[in-house]
Structures are given as structure tokens and as C-alpha cells.
């Protein structure tokens, strides 16, 4: 019997719809195993060949060879998201030090790009773990994402920038935070399985929503607003254009290697 195909995803609230079918063990034409990890770990597993598919930060794509993005699925925003924040003690043009959690690879690149190009700040980056109080100790600003960001949004005394909203204002395009990256040796039918995983959530939306809210400590109404009206999980032409524009601008700024071919042909 062949080894099960490894699939790894991020069990943040913002990814739950994409993972729903996989978590439920929906059938596939090949054996697979699903596990959850932080975004950067998902990318590392995919790069090491320990998984054939992973929900990875967009910023990981240029540094993982032989991995391509499924063009129809991801975690994207067309406006502010409240879960990807830059929190600063000082005016943005004076930010000289930036704390970031290892999980926030794409968001840190986005923060650095915006700080440099919009506010002329080029801070050094230090690694820190949430919660926010510890991240901000001894530094000017911090990038905080996912469930910890939702927990502090609008509740601090400091300057708060929603990074997705800042990108949309600057570039005029949606921002894609994560995509399904698939290795070239992934089994046939992997794209259909990942599509069906989201379809599983869409068919059971009302049934799944209360469990997601409870698991992540977020109110049901806030969870519904976040997943239904704030994020989008099906990527269209504008989302794909926004992702490529981010990769282009980040490469021009020297923050990421240049990579032109990123989409998997399906």
C-alpha cells in the first residue's frame, strides 16, 4: 500500500473553511493524512518533501522550488481584516525595530514593504512570541496575526494599522495571505480534493460556524462577519493579480527573491 499523501494546513480561524473537509476525512482517490501547524511550519514541511500540499504563506512561494499555487483557492482580503495588524508605539516613520512571530512570514514582508515605501522606515526585525505585551517589549512596533490579532484588535492604546487595508489603499488590489502550495510530485486529483474540502464547509456553513467560534474564542456574530464578509477563499482574477503584484513589489524592494511562474496548471 502506498504511503499516504501528506497535507498540512493552518488551524487559524481564517483557514477553517479551507480545511473543513480534510479535517472531516472526506474521501479521495488516494490515501492522505492531514495535520495542522503554524504557517511557516507548513511551508517548511512542503519544502522538505514531508507534505505534497500545504496551506502556506504567499511569501514562501518564491523560496520553495518545485511548488506551485493552486489558482482558485486561498485566504484573501479585499479590505481590512482585523487579524493582520501592525501595532506601533511610535509614529510609523520613526519605527526602527519591529517584532514578528515566526508564523507571520507574509505579513512581516508586507509590513516591511509598506513601512519602507509609504513611511520611509526600514526597521530591524526581531523574533518574538505572542502575546502582544511581550512582543512590544523594547521595540517600536510588532506584527501580530491570526487569532492573537483578533483578540487585541481595537483594544490597545497604541497606533494600529490593518495591513490588508493599507495594502488595498496603496495597490488598489486585494491581498492574498495564504494559498495551497502543491509539489510537482503530488498525486493526481489533489486539486479536486482541496476544492471539495472548501465545498464541504460551504455546504455545512451554519452547522460548522458555532464550533469554529467556540474553538477560537470568538463570538458567533464576529466569526460570521469575519468569514462571510471580511475574507474570501475563492480566488478570482483580481486576487491573483494582487498576489503577483505583491510578489513583484517585494522582489523589487529586495525583500523576496523574484519568481515569475507561481501558478499550478490545472
Q: What is the pLDDT of residues 173-189, one digit of tens each?
A: 999 999 999 998 899 99
Q: What is the pLDDT of residues 217-239, one digit of tens each?
A: 889 999 999 999 999 999 999 99
Give the angle 80-81-83 at the CA atoms, nearest 5°: 135
- Confidence band, pLDDT 50/70/90 cuts, at residue 207: very high
pLDDT (mean) for 83-104: 90
d(CA 7, CA 153): 31
- Which grid coordinates belong to 250? 517585494
Cβ(196)–Cβ(16) below 8 Å:
no
Q: What is the pLDDT of residues 32-89, one digit of tens each?
A: 999 998 877 888 899 999 999 999 999 999 999 889 999 999 999 999 988 889 999 9
* Every domain of the chain and the residues it spans: 5-76+175-252, 84-171
Stated pTM of the model = 0.91
Asked if the peptide bond before residue 139 counts as cis, ω within 30 degrees of 0, the response is no
- Structure confidence at residue 1 (pLDDT): 36
Domain 5-76+175-252 has CATH 3.40.50.2000: no
Q: Where are the beta strands (DSSP E) in the chain?
A: 5-9, 32-36, 53-57, 67-77, 84-88, 97-100, 124-127, 141-145, 159-162, 175-183, 231-234
Q: How many helices (H) and strands (E) does the chain have?
A: 10, 11
Options 3.40.50.740, 3.90.79.10, 3.40.190.10, 3.10.105.10; CATH of 84-171: 3.40.190.10
Q: Do the domains at 5-76+175-252 and 84-171 have one common CATH topology?
A: yes
- Confidence band, pLDDT 50/70/90 cuts, at residue 147: confident
Amino acid at each position: 500500500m502506498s504511503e499516504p499523501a501528506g497535507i498540512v494546513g493552518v488551524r487559524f480561524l481564517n483557514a477553517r473553511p479551507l480545511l473543513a473537509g480534510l479535517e472531516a476525512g472526506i474521501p479521495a482517490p488516494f490515501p492522505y493524512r492531514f495535520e495542522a501547524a503554524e504557517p511557516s511550519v507548513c511551508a517548511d514541511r512542503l519544502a522538505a518533501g514531508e507534505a505534497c500540499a500545504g496551506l502556506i504563506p504567499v511569501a514562501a512561494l518564491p523560496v520553495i522550488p518545485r511548488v506551485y499555487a493552486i489558482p482558485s483557492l486561498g485566504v484573501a482580503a479585499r479590505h481590512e481584516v482585523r487579524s493582520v495588524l501592525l501595532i506601533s508605539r511610535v509614529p510609523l516613520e520613526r519605527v526602527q525595530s519591529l517584532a514578528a512571530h515566526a508564523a507571520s512570514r507574509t505579513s512581516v514582508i508586507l509590513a516591511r514593504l509598506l513601512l519602507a515605501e509609504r513611511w520611509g522606515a526600514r526597521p530591524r526585525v526581531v523574533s518574538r512570541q505572542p502575546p502582544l505585551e511581550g512582543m512590544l517589549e523594547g521595540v517600536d512596533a510588532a506584527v501580530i496575526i491570526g487569532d492573537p490579532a483578533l483578540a487585541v484588535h481595537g483594544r490597545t492604546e497604541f497606533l494600529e494599522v490593518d495591513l490588508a487595508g493599507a495594502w488595498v489603499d496603496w495597490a488598489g488590489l486585494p491581498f492574498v495571505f495564504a494559498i495551497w502550495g502543491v509539489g510537482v510530485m503530488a498525486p493526481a486529483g489533489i486539486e479536486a480534493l482541496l476544492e471539495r474540502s472548501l465545498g464541504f464547509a460551504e455546504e455545512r456553513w451554519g452547522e460548522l460556524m458555532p464550533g469554529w467560534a467556540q474553538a477560537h474564542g470568538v463570538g458567533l456574530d464576529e466569526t460570521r462577519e469575519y468569514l462571510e464578509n471580511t475574507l474570501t477563499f475563492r480566488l478570482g482574477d483580481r486576487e491573483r493579480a494582487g498576489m503577483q503584484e505583491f510578489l513583484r513589489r517585494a522582489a523589487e524592494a529586495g525583500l523576496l527573491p523574484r519568481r515569475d511562474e507561481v501558478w499550478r496548471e490545472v
